[in-house]
Amino acid sequence: MNDWLPIDSAPRDRQILICREGDECSHAGFWQEAVEDGVDYMGEDAGFVDVHFQNFYPSRSFGQMGSRYPGRQPTLWQPLPPPPSTPEKAE
């Protein structure tokens, strides 16, 4: 399955491969719901994140102006490939 799909059609209930059009790589990622500010945490809007929280992240559209920032969101997605099969042991 090599066909990338538009991110608007991506499921939000499981991990998927996410990519940005024009990027040469893809990352495992998932949908993250919005998080409000907490005592020890600055919240953010809902959006897709990669599992390492480095390449894709939601924006922050609330709070003081200096605390707001644009997110980096994927534009394409694919289902994760199936895990490799384990060869059966010869007896």
**Cβ burial 44-58 (10 Å sphere, 16+ → b, else e):** bbebbbbeeeebbbb
- Cα–Cα nearest to 75, from 48, 38, 52: 48
67 touches 1 (CB < 8 A): no
Give the count of beta carbons closer than 10 Å to the beta carbon of residue 88.
6
Give Cα separations from 22 to 25, 26, 76, 82 (angstroms). 9, 11, 10, 25
Summarize pLDDT for 77-89 with one digit per residue, the tens: 999 988 888 777 7
Summarize pLDDT for 2-60 with one digit per residue, the tens: 689 999 999 999 999 999 988 888 899 999 999 888 888 888 999 999 999 899 999 99
Residue ranges per domain, the chain? 1-80
Model pTM above 0.85: no
Which pLDDT band holds residue 65 (cuts at 50, 70, 90)? confident
